[in-house]
Structure 1
């Protein structure tokens, strides 16, 4: 599996590898995509770090409930991409290794999900590898 890499690795720095699973989920009309807006105004795809021995499916289902209040079904695997970056919140260097999946909406069990046009997601997402995944998902729908 070829992995696309974003960001620049600086030789003098130690990077913490952080595998994560992300959801690309479109509404029924396929004209909006689910995103998460953090308290500091940054935009991300729903998903996050794999905990302990979680499977990809277990991770994304847990994250979807936590972030969107929604049960989801894991769909087509889009691909893997990674990004070198410095976290200004944690003051650490990370290699975010993202696994991206198309997902289907399930039952909404709490707070509603934020939906935006894919172009707005591309313009606002914080991580380049998440922008890449949106472009790849658009090819599949």
Structure 2
């Protein structure tokens, strides 16, 4: 693993309820570019999302990449990082929301199918894009200038991962 970060709340009162979510995210390099999901806010996130029911990491990764990019994951290499985010839950008063995102290096097939976006993803204008990693970092950093209400919640997490990948790209 090349990175392991904790963002947000460092300590959680043991009396508080914690709502957990596990997410699986794909890191795909091809021809000097990285596969990202762009949005209408001009930022970029890694394809991936929440584990449903009893899905394995592999099943979640394949489903989410297909839904958000149309590409089919043909090979899952190794887990290259983890980011844990903790904050006060927006929907459950006196609770903490904790999401753990697992990042896997993947290879995809050349063929692409139709996207299958959730309503909020369609509203954000999700689209797959092959982009230079420096350009993705630059766009995400530009988004930090916006008010917190005008930024996507993943901005800090994904920018940290992009910067880590930039440091280690030749070794993974």
Q: Say yes or no: TM over 0.5.
A: yes
- TM-score w.r.t. the length of structure 2 is 0.64
The 4+ residue runs of structure 1 with deviation greater than 4 A are 9-15, 39-42, 90-93
How many residue pairs are counted as aligned between the two chains?
Answer: 137
Please, what TM-score do these two structures have when normalized by structure 1?
Answer: 0.76
Q: Deviations over 1:26-73 (max 9, x none)?
A: 12x22x211112355553110000111111110000001100011012
Taking a change above 3 Å as real, the CA distance of residues 85 and 139 of structure 1, as seen in their structure-2 partners, is farther
Q: Which has the higher helix share?
A: 2
CA distance in 2, matches of 1:18, 1:55: 14
Whether the 8 Å contact between 2:43 and 2:155 is mirrored in structure 1 is no
Q: Find the residue that maps to 2:136 and give its secondary structure.
A: helix
For 1:42-81, list aligned pairs within 5 A. 42-72=43-73, 73-81=75-83
Task: Find the counterpart in structure 1 of residue 123 from structure 2.
Answer: none
* 5+ residue gaps, structure 1: none
Instruction: For structure 2, list consecutive stretches of 5 or more residues without a partner in the other structure.
Output: 116-126, 142-153
1:121 aligns with 2:123: no
Alignment RMSD: 3.0
